[in-house]
Each structure stands twice: as structure tokens, then as C-alpha cells.
Structure 1
Amino acid sequence: MWGFLIRRVLGGILILFIICAVTFMLFYVAPGHNVAKLACGKTCTPQSVAQVAHQLGVDKPVWQQFADYLGGIFAGRTIGQNHCPAPCLGYSFRNDQPVLETILGRLPVTLSLTLGAVVLFLIIGVGLGMLAALRRGKAADRFAMGFAVLGGAQQIFVLGPFLLFLFVYSTHLMNVPTYTPFFGNPLKWATGLILPWCCLAIITAAYYARLTRSTMLEMLSEDYIRTVRAKGMGNANVYVKHAFRGAMSPVATLLGLDIAVLLGGAIITETVFDLPGVGQLAATSVQDSDLPVMMAVVLLGAAFVVTANIVVDVVYAFIDPRVRLR
């Protein structure tokens, strides 16, 4: 087991290194990206641009710039007159603040948005999927699959404004979504994020409903399920102890990746609902050509996805020992 885990971790580190190298080349070395000019501003003289280039170290060879960036992540580095402690992701061109500090300030919003949406779409998606499987061919099945088709066809930039218009601006049943720290006021935290949660849950639950239904039907048709029934076990035990547990393996895989993607960049959701999270920060950094922030957000999203893959692999290794031999 330890050998399997070590292989997965080393593979994840290699993938992150490759992503970091490619992202660095795209943002800092690609033609048309004059990093020093972007950091200096539009009114800088050529002399000022050269001075900023020297302070940022972008006048060095490319390999040395990349080595300095990697070294800053693990040991910190000095940028101009500022010492950036590890893990150093640079300083924002926009406000001259440490990128890591800026991201950490926005991360609670994205975490809150992600975790609340996950709880909702799991309850809705898995619940409807089980209902459809247990009532196959009946009205409940048609209703659940109709919801899945309708929800899966929606897009955040369409559904989000519609929910805002319906519940906020038209009927005034709810307030404009806002973020309140959980420990400051848990009730206000939940009520301020309920619309974004619902928006994400409606769209994502559709996939979980279809997946749960198909896997439940597959499990219920297995030979060992028929054997358990023949021994006189009640339907509740058959559904929960055997079919449901087996059906949750693919759901757990999809869930791990979905959480990573949501954490890595809920750009559209946060932009539509004007929530000051990491996704909105990414959109703002693109508009402002704030390269250090853009690169840090990309690396953060990649780290979430790679970590989620490792966790899912480990969970599968515990469930099915044959996975460890791959």
C-alpha cells in the first residue's frame, strides 16, 4: 500500500512541476508578454521598465527565472526591495500585495461556496438517482430523469441571472447574495449563499442523478443481490447495505474531482453573483493582466485537481486491492 501511495504522490509532484513549467512559459516568456512593462504600468519610461525588469529578475535567462520562481515557493525570495517568505508566489502587479496573502483572503468565500453546493447536489442528485432506480419506469423515475435532463442542459451564466431575477429583483423573496464569515454569523452566512448553492446544485445534481440511477440498477441486477434476496433479506437491507454501497464508488470518484474543480476556480459563479472569491480574483487578474495572480490561481486549481486524484486513487486502493497493482 505504501509503495502505491508513494508512486501516486511522486506522479502528482511531477505533474505539478510540468504544469508549473508550462504555465510559467505561457505567462512570463510567451511573445507579447512584457512582464516588466505590465508591472510598471502604461506611463513608464523605457528606463523605468528596465529598472523594474531588473527588480523582478525578468532580465535573467529563462531557466534562471524559473529556478528563482520554484525556489521562492520552497524557500522564499527577494523581489525588488521586498522579501517574500515561503511559499512565495510573487507580488500582485495591481496592488503590490503578496499573491498568497491575496488568495488566502479570498479562499474562505470559494470554500463556502464549494462545500455548501456539494452538500446540496449530493442530497438532490443521489436522492433522485436512488428514487429513480427503485421506481424504475414509474412516475418518480420519469420525474427524476426529467429533472436531470433539464438541469444538465443549464449553464451558470443563464441559470444564475434567472434565479436572481426571480427571487431577488422580481419577487424580493431573498436578498442579494453576499458573503458573511461563518463564525461571524452562521445564519447570515447560509442565507447569503443559498442562491449560488442552488444554482450549482441544480446543474451538478443532474449528473449525479443519472450516475446514481445507472449504477444502482447495475448493482440490483448482480447475481449476489439475487442471492441475498433469496436468503430472505429485506428490501431496505438489500438497497442500503449492498446495492447503495456498491453504487457509491463511481459517485465518490466524480465527487472528488468535482470538489477540486469547484475549489480551483468557480469563476463564472462568483462573477455572476458578485462574490469576492478566488474565481472572481482570477477574472479580475485576467482583465488587469496581473500575471503573478493569474499563474498562482492556475497552480492552485492544478494542485486541487492533482490532490483530488491522489485521494481518489488511495480510496479505490482500499476498496479494491487490485488497483494497487496498476
Structure 2
Amino acid sequence: MWRFVIRRALFGLLVLWLVATTVFLLFFAGPADSVARRLAGPRAPQEVVNQIRDTLGLDRPLTQQYLGFLNKLLHGDLGTSFISQTPVSTLIMASLPATLWLVAGAAALWLTAGVTGGVICATAPRSLRDRLITVTVLAGISLPTFVLGIFMIFLALSVFPWLGLAPGPYIPPLEDIRGFFQVMIMPWITLAVVQAAVYVRLTRGSMLDTLGEDYIRTARAKGAPEHRVTYRHGLRAALTPVVTQFGVDIGALLGGVVVTESVFGLQGLGQLMIRSVRDGDLPVIIGAAVLAAAFIVVANILVDIAYSFLDPRVRLT
């Protein structure tokens, strides 16, 4: 187990190095003046361009710049924002809680609804409930996130105003627990509806394949109760592809739920990345890209470990 974890962690570090190197070359490879001009903007005076070039050391050889970049990255120094002159790590840590809570709450909803709906469909294929859930799932997949978010805001403000739900900036739960839920419930439901549709289809297909296996027929022949066959033997093995998709989704969404955060104004990592790209704030863009890659690497390692607990046939070697 530990040998596997160490090997995957080393592989993850390799992936992070490749991501950091790619991002560095994408922005810094080129003549010093052209890079400084791109960072300063086309209308910036030459004095500003010269200041950026001297501050970032763009006149040094590219190898020295790259080694300095890696050294800062290893020490947790992501640089300083060009716009606000605030450390990038401070900006990220200020935006991260909103994204973490958004993804965590929505993940609990979509995983519960998706797996439950998939099991219901798989245990009664081609039945009325199977077809109704399938139609609902197709509607959820087809509905754009921003449209669903705007519809949720309309319902909250016009149809159910007594609930007190409203879009707005993230409120820490320890600061105001009621305000936290009033702000977060709509984004949770919006993100969960879109994601749950995928998990229903995935769970249904995996369950149908698993319930046709020989060991399932053997368990039934031995007189095992149907609920035991379905949930302990069937669902446990069928969750492998679901967990794989869950790990990918969690890792990717933690890097910034751009559309959902924009619709509801949560001021999370997604909003931070949009502002940074719009303003050309290079250090923040690089820091957010490396952080998103780290989330995906960690999520995939946890998924591989979860395989051994879900399916006894899988061994970590």
C-alpha cells in the first residue's frame, strides 16, 4: 500500500513539474522586451515596460529565470500580483474556502442523487421509473449551468422569497451559519443537478453490467436476499467507474467552478482566475494553474486507493 502511494506521489510530482514548466515557458519564453510588453499591455509607456523587465529579471538567461521560478515554487512562493501587489498565496487562500464549500456541498448532493437514481434504474431496467429518471437525466445534461443558475435565482427571489435565498459573496459558516446556507444552497443545487445527471447514467450502466456477472448469479442461487445482492455485492463493484469520474470531477472543479461562481457571485477561485486573465495578472494565473493541477493529482491518488476498498479483486502493487 505505502509503496504504491509513494510511487503515485512521485508520479504526481512529475506531473506538477511538467505543468509548472509548461506554464513558465508559455509566458516567459521569448525576448525580454516582448515578454515585458505583453505583461504591461500594448499601451503602457516604455518606462513601465522597463520596470517590469527589471523587476522580473527578464533580461537574465531563460535558464536562470526558470531555476529561480522553480526555487520559489518549491518554497511555496507563488509571486506577487501585478495588479494588487498582494502575494498570490494570500489571494488564493482568500478565494479557496468559497470554492471548497461549493464543491463539497454539491458533490454530496450529486453523488447521493446520482448513485441512488442509477441503482433504481438498474434494478428495474426499461420500467416506467427507469424511463422517467432517464428523461430527467437527459434534461439535466442538456441544460447549461448558467441557465439553470439564473432560473434558480428567479425562483428564490420571485416564487420563494420567504426562504431568504439570494446570490452574493461567500459567507464563512462560523461567521453566520444561516447566511452561509442562504448563499450556498442555490449554487449547490445548480452544480449538483448538472453533475448528478452524469452519475445516474454511469451508475446505471455499471450496475447493469455488474448484476450480470457470475458471482451475482451465484449469490442469488445461494439464497442471499436481493437487497444484499444489489447493494453489498453489485453496487460495491459497480462504483469503481463512478469513483473514477468523481475523482476527476472533484479535482477539476476545485480548480475553480467558473460559471457557477460567476452566476452567483461567490468570489471563489473561478472568479479570481477570470479577473486575472482579464487583467493579465501573470503570477496569479500561474499559481492558480499549478494549484488546479495539484488538486487533480491528489484526487487521482485517492481514487486509486479507494479502488482496493470497493473491489476486493483490485490490489495495490
**Deviation readout 1:54-92 (Å, 9 max, x if unpaired):** 122122111211111111122xxxxxxxxxxx3100100
Shifted more, 313-322 versus 244-253: the winner is 313-322
Alignment size in residue pairs: 314
Give yes or no for the alignment of 1:226 onto 2:217: yes
- 1:117 alignment partner in structure 2: 106
- 1:81 alignment partner in structure 2: none
Q: Distance in 1 between matches of 2:129 and 2:31?
A: 57
- Give the secondary structure class of the aligned counterpart of 1:5: helix
Moved over 6 A (4+): none
Give yes or no for the alignment of 1:250 onto 2:241: yes
Question: What is the deviation of 1:32?
Answer: 10
Give yes or no for the alignment of 1:205 onto 2:214: no
- Any residues of structure 2 matched to 1:65-84 within 5 Å, and which? 65-74=65-74
Shifted more, 224-233 versus 46-55: the winner is 46-55
- Give the secondary structure class of the aligned counterpart of 1:275: coil
Task: Give me the TM-score of the superposition, normalised by structure 1.
Answer: 0.89
Q: 1:238 to 1:32 in 2, by over 3 A?
A: farther
Of 165, 173, 179, which residue of structure 2 is paired with 1:175?
165
Structure 1 counterpart of 2:103, one-letter code: T
**Does 1 or 2 have the higher relative contact order (CA < 8 Å, sep 6+)?**
2
Q: 1:12 to 1:141 in 2, by over 3 A?
A: same
- Any residues of structure 2 matched to 1:169-318 within 5 Å, and which? 169=158, 172=161, 174-178=164-168, 179-317=170-308
Q: Distance in 2 between matches of 1:17 and 1:282?
A: 21
Q: Distance in 1 between matches of 2:214 and 2:43?
A: 74
Report if aligned partners of 1:27, 1:295 keep a CA contact under 8 Å in 2: no
Task: Give me the TM-score of the superposition, normalised by structure 2.
Answer: 0.91
- 2:125 alignment partner in structure 1: 136
**Deviation readout 1:145-204 (Å, 9 max, x if unpaired):** 111111111221222222222332565355322321011222321221111111111110
Q: Distance in 1 between matches of 2:117 and 2:45?
A: 63
Q: Distance in 2 between matches of 1:32 and 1:157?
A: 41
- Identity percentage of aligned residues: 40
**Any unmatched runs of 5+ in structure 1?**
75-85
Aligned residues: CA RMSD = 2.3
